[in-house]
A = this chain, B = another copy of it.
């Protein structure tokens, strides 16, 4: 019942404490020492379930952020492998770089054949470093663009999975013009005539996320977040204090439900209670069902309609007063 392998987050500490007590009690009962404690155990288990439900239905922005960044959260490759164990990975920008932080390939999903692109964080230290903690280089965005063009040529739908702190603020990245790499992707994605669905699976960090986020449908996992700047960056600029991350999270309205209320996300996809990392299979299946449903809808549209639909979606976004 209590998943021991999952590292508890700060806000999950009360739950973890309770779980420890339950475990202790179970051990004692198991050893036959205090069979009269069984009632206590039942009560504790009930408390645990209650606390869990109430905890996860009253999460603050910063709690979602913590879940979105949970080190055990499923990453792009975890989803792809579950959806199609025979998916075909494609590599490289053809110009000197294969960015491991951007995974691209061909995949079957239900009756649909799709091109997939996704940012990839690493699990092990070596992977993390290799994937630059999920921050693609300009060449990563250009690799994605190559696959978008492949999809357009063969009229294949595109699914993008987004889980990135953003583009990498590095010397080479600026030298190789990451601003241009992102901008070109925004422009070219908007012109495609195939269905494009983007999913924020974890962190949706600024322009680096949007670079594969110009889609007909934007889905967000329940605990994922999407923001114009990292909450840390926002706190340090507007509050001039690194301690105000929670305030920045709240102010920016970056949770899945808020982003949907703002008209940016089209659907919030339910995660297992406690977050996708508690049951990656379940999370992958839920997301898969949602994707197939949207694919079924979008593939009914004509190429021209698809392009127009996507351009209209972004044309409408924004809030202003016209006097």
A176 contacts which chain B residues (CB < 8 A)?
Answer: 95-96
A94 contacts which chain B residues (CB < 8 A)?
Answer: 177, 180
Of residues 137 through 191 on chain A, the ones whose CB sits less than 8 Å from some CB of chain B are 138, 142, 175-177, 180-181
A142 contacts which chain B residues (CB < 8 A)?
Answer: 95
Q: Give Cα A296 to B297, complex, Å.
A: 53
B138 and A175 within 8 A (CB): no
Copies in the complex: 2
Q: Give Cα A142 to B94, complex, Å.
A: 12
Interface centre among A138, A175, A177, A180, by most B CB within 10 Å?
Answer: A177
User: Chain A: interface residue count, which band?
Assistant: 10 to 19
A138 contacts which chain B residues (CB < 8 A)?
Answer: 95-96
Q: Give Cα A180 to B96, complex, Å.
A: 10
A181 contacts which chain B residues (CB < 8 A)?
Answer: 95
- Jot down 12 A-B pairs with beta carbons below 8 A, ordered by A: A94-B177, A94-B180, A95-B138, A95-B142, A95-B176, A95-B177, A95-B180, A95-B181, A96-B138, A96-B175, A96-B176, A96-B177
How many Å from the CB of A67 to the closest CB on chain B? 37
Residue-wise, chain A 93-127 has the 8 Å CB interface mask toward B (1 for contact) of: 01110000000000000000000000000000000
How many Å from the CB of A7 to the closest CB on chain B? 40
A180 contacts which chain B residues (CB < 8 A)?
Answer: 94-95
How many Å from the CB of A252 to the closest CB on chain B? 32
How many Å from the CB of A111 to the closest CB on chain B? 34
Interface centre among A94, A96, A175, A181, by most B CB within 10 Å?
Answer: A96
How many Å from the CB of A153 to the closest CB on chain B? 14
Name the 10 nearest CB pairs between A and B, nearest first.
Answer: A96-B176, A96-B175, A94-B180, A95-B177, A96-B177, A95-B176, A94-B177, A95-B180, A95-B138, A95-B181
Residue-wise, chain A 275-288 has the 8 Å CB interface mask toward B (1 for contact) of: 00000000000000
A96 contacts which chain B residues (CB < 8 A)?
Answer: 138, 175-177
How many Å from the CB of A188 to the closest CB on chain B? 13
A175 contacts which chain B residues (CB < 8 A)?
Answer: 96
Q: Who on chain B is nearest to A92 by CB?
A: B177
Q: Give Cα A118 to B96, complex, Å.
A: 24
How many Å from the CB of A196 to the closest CB on chain B? 24
How many Å from the CB of A211 to the closest CB on chain B? 15
A95 contacts which chain B residues (CB < 8 A)?
Answer: 138, 142, 176-177, 180-181
Residue-wise, chain A 63-102 has the 8 Å CB interface mask toward B (1 for contact) of: 0000000000000000000000000000000111000000
Q: Who on chain B is nearest to A138 by CB?
A: B95
